A = this chain, B = another copy of it.
Amino acid sequence: MAEIGVGMLGYAFMGKAHSNAFKKIRYITWPPPIEPLLVGIAGRNEEAVGEAALRYGFDYATTDWRDLVADERIGLFDNGGPNSLHAEPTIAAAQAGKHVVCEKPLGRNADEAYEIWQQVAATGVKHMCAFNYRFVPAVRLAREMIEAGELGQVRHFRGRYLQDWGDDPSLDTWRFHPDEAGSGALGDLMTHVVDLARFLNGEPSTVFGFARTFIPGRKVDDAVEAAVEFENGSVGTLEATRFANGRRNAFQWEINGTKGSLAFDMERLNELQVFRADGDRARGFKTVLVSETTHPFWEWWWPPGHIIGWGDTFVHELHHFLAAIAGEHDVRPYGADFEDGYRASEVCDTIVRSGESGERETITFRA
């Protein structure tokens, strides 16, 4: 079996999610397209990164990500560090010939994301922006249904990512520092909304909206609201917030077409609501438990009805990247590459710009 050495930047939330995925790929997606070997992990806190190496089984830990870039055993650089550490290490790794995965948002803003994309694309390595929600079985099933024309012409896409942990003035993590995070709900949550909007419904063409900070003195946005037009003629709303009390992880979207509709809530990530305008007298949305052998990714898992978890979306995502490296398919269209990472940020920044200008803004993607 072919192997690839993995170097990981970041050992906290995303480090755990990605390490878990690499370990599970080995036997859940058996046989894996390439076997990932956990070589090195980097982080700023020496003790913490050392323990992470022990915990997840990396050969070594380092406080200098350049060690990973320099390590010839590493063929895949996985960047799950804070947003301010996306650009330089990712570019350096790519320039050292390593395939690169980078967490979202790709950059702290569209300019930085564009720069990362351009620099990395020039190297010829494979690149993926880790929009893991494309790898939720229900989301992939939705994509397949839409591609097959099962919704007909799309009229509406409405998406909102609702969380509720931000309404506390005492909070202080890197996520609230503009230099480290770039933005607040915008980069953290709205990029997910925009990415799935693009994945399921194509490019937005104009946005009307704004970002809002509720907590006095906080330097990043708390919520983002927008009305949107898409190139395919559909319209809708986009929203992201950390201030929706009672909603822990409610990434909800709905898409309405002339032949049917789909709806989803990440808090029930194994379910897809499906409406077909098929003339059945028993008319209504089906609650589809996406766990059949005929459903995406499900050949790897359990019998129908035995649901998977949020963490398992990373198994699918990183398997997809390994298969791309193995030449089985390209990162696109089912995965998001760095151009997709840039485009999500471009849309997000355009919303902010609309709020600042007070005008409807047309989205222009740089080539």
Q: Could you list which residues of chain A lie within 8 angstroms of chain B, going by C-beta atoms?
A: 13, 16-17, 19-20, 23-24, 26-28, 30-31, 55-57, 141, 145, 155-156, 158, 160, 162-165, 167, 208-210, 212, 214, 223, 225-229, 233, 235-237, 239, 241, 243-250, 254, 256-261, 266-269, 272, 274-277, 280-289, 291-292, 294-295, 301-312, 354-355, 358-360
Instruction: Please classify the interface of chain A as helix (H, G, I), strand (E, B), loop, or mixed, using the class held by over half of its residues.
Output: mixed
Chain B residues positioned under 8 Å from A259 (CB to CB): 245
Contact A288 B283 (CB under 8 A): yes
Give the number of copies in the complex. Answer: 4
Q: What separation, in Å, do the CA atoms of A284 and B26 have in the docked complex?
A: 32
B contact residues around A165 at 8 Å (CB):
303-304
Are A236 and B225 touching (Cβ within 8 A)? yes
| Candidate in A246, A257, A280, A312 with the most chain B CB atoms within 10 angstroms | A246
Given contacts A267-B289, A301-B311, 10 further A-B contacts (CB under 8 A): A23-B24, A155-B167, A210-B227, A247-B256, A247-B261, A248-B304, A249-B304, A281-B295, A285-B286, A308-B310
Assuming the contacts A244-B261, A272-B282, asked whether A307 and B309 have C-beta atoms less than 8 A apart, the reply is yes
How many Å lie between the Cα of A145 and that of B258 in the bound state? 27
Residues B227 and A27 in contact, CB atoms below 8 Å apart: no
